[in-house]
Structure 1
Amino acid sequence: MFSTRRQVLLAATMAACAMTAGHAIAQSDYPSKTISVIVSYPPGGDTDAIARLFADKLSQRLKQTVIVDNKPGAGGALGNNFVSRAPADGYTLLFTPNPFTTAPLVMKLSPSASYDVLHGFEPVINTATQPLVLVANPGLGVKTLPELIAAAKSGKPVTYASPGAGSPMHIVGEWLNRTAGVKITHVPYRGVGPSVTDVVAGHVDTAWVTFGAVRQYLQNGRLIPLAIGDAQRSKLAPHVPTLVELGYKDVVVGSWNGFFAPKGTPAPVVKLLNENLNEILKSPEVAEKLAVFGALPAGGAPDALGKINSSDYAVMGKVIKDLGISAE
């Protein structure tokens, strides 16, 4: 009896060791096949272009094919949900901007389309930040944010464009409205491009956008920068004051992007991806290309992205609820 029990225990121990060894070997062989980077937006936009930049550099470093697979729909929720349900083996990754965090808060998603923002993914790395800037058409006749607020308070009808209802640009616009005690009318568009086109043409007075989308218009004077939404001034436009500096100390909304993996992805795989992407972000060539999109390299440990995501969920979630912001 004793001998039999001993044999059973020994066999179980050996089997467990074999499984652990096999798991370790599988991880050490990673990646042994193509890695898919899911982008939850159509091809051609900033997110898609930045994802392809990282995919190309990651492929070179890992000596393995890394492809970008666009899965647009439901404001990004379709692709995000797809990755949350993918095998947790490191071969399906999500590259996303920060509407990832707020989409379930502003959209009426069915259970089959939704995803767990805080617990459904493994953070890999915060790749870049994109400061949001408020720009005005010169025809509005204002050159500073105080002048804009004064015009709105005087009863002058003023509008602001955003790339979509429920976007970070919509959130910062409505947050500023409440804090400043004005009503600058929101005009939502389907994407950054159309909103920029219309503010340059004067069809809307102002717009919240990323720097990359309006760089040429700021340089040639066709748009005037009034303020940025980050807590600190941006290296991309150090002369533009922040909302905090201008007296709206609680109004801080930025844009970021990063990589997530499905929940349960092995820690060594996450670590390998994080280390390689951190090295990629040190490249002057990558920094230069990110600047074209108004983005600045970020980087850091996986937990840094996790903290940004959870902080945005709490802070933006409260603002969205208090202001009744919806993507509907």
Structure 2
Amino acid sequence: MKLATRILFAAIATTTAMMAGGGAWAQAYPTKPITLVVAYPAGGDTDVLARLLAEKLSARLRQSVVVENRTGAAGTIGSAYVAKSAPDGYTLLVAPNTVAIAPLVLKNGTGASYDVRNDFTPIAQLGVQSLFVVVNKGTGITKLPELVTRAKAGTVQTYATPGNGSPMHILGEMFNKAAGVNIAQVPYRGSAPAVVDVLGGQVPMTYSTLGAVTQYVATGAIVPLAVADMKRSPFAPNVPTLAELGYKDVEVGAWQALMAPKGLPPELVKTLNTHVNDILKMPDVGGAHGNHRHHARWRRARYAGQADCIGLDALRQDRQGVRHPGRLTD
């Protein structure tokens, strides 16, 4: 099965390349507040990114830009809302890669009411992030082999994710398969509540971006065991990669993109794309960081074939209770 995210990134590149010069509509835009929809609760990575983007866009466009959280159903509720909105540039989606994956893994009858390939206009890629294997310090685990041993012994039984079909969910299933363990997913409505329960000890571990847990790693409340990259993160150089630890094919990343409903006029795509890319170059945003640019290019090249490594069909079976009956819930 082809990965939907490959199509989305190709669409972003194609849309940007085909954009013509701005017209009168683009010159007048915006004439009213713009809403950035986030399909997850406040406090998570995508929400934080959206609020930073809203602040910067508001200053550049001289118009109010607000963030609206529309949560539920692995992010598909908020995504569907934007897909069905008017393509006028006033309702946009700040979306993680879950927007492309979740519709493929939700069980029959609860699938998303949108097609990521046909119902959106891609505007710009916002960021690419590494995922880390992290545990609550109360587990006493400090090394990945200890986690595997504990999981096989049945003392580590669950991991938290931001929801079904998230990159963290895919990583969890890939690691289960590679390590020969059966750690069950506990899906939440976003990364923020997932991290909260790991901090509280309700769930012993999660797969997370570094940004979502940085403050807790700094205090020692959460312990990073490995990064799911083929290279160490420049932001956590002391954390080994899963490849270094023997799991060479377990590599998953997270990305975010700005999207609009299908049919957004090319001149508005150009206007928004230009502003967003200028914002990403700002030092306080981090878009100009050389290591990040290199890492992002490398990540995009690696990401295209990840779903086939475990098979999205396998994840659909998981949702239907074939592999782990009764494990996953909405």
Q: TM-score, normalised by structure 2?
A: 0.76
Distance 2:268 2:108 in 1: 31
Distance 1:213 1:221 in 2: 14
Match of 1:134 in 2: 133
Q: Pick closer, same or farther for the CA change 1:253–1:112 going to 2, 3 Å.
A: closer
Are residue 174 (structure 1) and residue 167 (structure 2) matched?
A: no
Deviations 1:37-63 (A, max 9, x none): 222233444322321211121121122
1:286 partner letter: V
Match of 1:25 in 2: 24
Is the 2:160–2:203 Cα contact (8 Å) retained in structure 1?
no
Q: CA deviation at 1:227?
A: 0.8
Q: Pick closer, same or farther for the CA change 1:184–1:56 going to 2, 3 Å.
A: same
Q: CA deviation at 1:316?
A: 6.6
Q: Pick closer, same or farther for the CA change 1:276–1:202 going to 2, 3 Å.
A: same
Q: Which runs of 5+ in 1 are unaligned?
A: 1-22
Count matched residues.
Answer: 291
Is the 2:174–2:310 Cα contact (8 Å) retained in structure 1?
no
Are residue 325 (structure 1) and residue 318 (structure 2) matched?
A: yes
Distance 1:109 1:37 in 2: 29
Distance 2:285 2:50 in 1: 12
Deviations 1:60-83 (A, max 9, x none): 112223222332232321221122
Bigger Rg, structure 1 or 2 = 1
Q: Which runs of 5+ in 2 are unaligned?
A: 1-21, 320-328
Distance 2:80 2:57 in 1: 24
Match of 1:243 in 2: 242
Q: Pick closer, same or farther for the CA change 1:165–1:285 going to 2, 3 Å.
A: same
Distance 2:68 2:194 in 1: 26
Is the 1:102–1:317 Cα contact (8 Å) retained in structure 2?
no
Matches within 5 A, 1:52-131: 52-108=51-107, 114-131=113-130
Are residue 35 (structure 1) and residue 30 (structure 2) matched?
A: no
2:318 partner letter: I
Q: Pick closer, same or farther for the CA change 1:71–1:60 going to 2, 3 Å.
A: same
Is the 1:128–1:297 Cα contact (8 Å) retained in structure 2?
no
Matches within 5 A, 1:1-328: 24-108=23-107, 114-153=113-152, 155-163=153-161, 164-287=163-286, 311=304, 315=307, 319-323=311-315, 324-326=317-319, 327-328=329-330
Q: CA deviation at 1:318?
A: 5.7
Match of 2:325 in 1: none
Q: CA deviation at 1:109?
A: 7.1
Distance 1:181 1:159 in 2: 13
Q: CA deviation at 1:100?
A: 0.9
Is the 1:160–1:205 Cα contact (8 Å) retained in structure 2?
yes
2:284 partner SS = helix
2:24 partner letter: I
Distance 2:272 2:43 in 1: 25
Q: Pick closer, same or farther for the CA change 1:231–1:287 going to 2, 3 Å.
A: same
2:304 partner SS = helix
Distance 1:223 1:318 in 2: 28
Superposition RMSD on alpha carbons, in Å?
Answer: 3.2
1:285 partner SS = coil
Is the 2:41–2:190 Cα contact (8 Å) retained in structure 1?
no
2:49 partner letter: I
Q: Pick closer, same or farther for the CA change 1:37–1:316 going to 2, 3 Å.
A: farther
Q: Pick closer, same or farther for the CA change 1:282–1:189 going to 2, 3 Å.
A: same
Match of 1:16 in 2: none
2:27 partner letter: S
Q: TM-score, normalised by structure 1?
A: 0.76
Is the 1:96–1:257 Cα contact (8 Å) retained in structure 2?
yes
Distance 1:316 1:58 in 2: 37
Is the 1:166–1:325 Cα contact (8 Å) retained in structure 2?
no
Which is further off, 210-219 or 168-177? Answer: 210-219
Is the 1:92–1:261 Cα contact (8 Å) retained in structure 2?
yes
Distance 2:107 2:151 in 1: 32
Distance 2:73 2:202 in 1: 27
2:232 partner SS = coil
Distance 1:26 1:165 in 2: 39
Distance 2:31 2:69 in 1: 22
Q: CA deviation at 1:158?
A: 1.6
1:235 partner SS = coil
Q: Pick closer, same or farther for the CA change 1:244–1:114 going to 2, 3 Å.
A: farther
Distance 2:132 2:247 in 1: 15
Q: CA deviation at 1:190?
A: 4.4
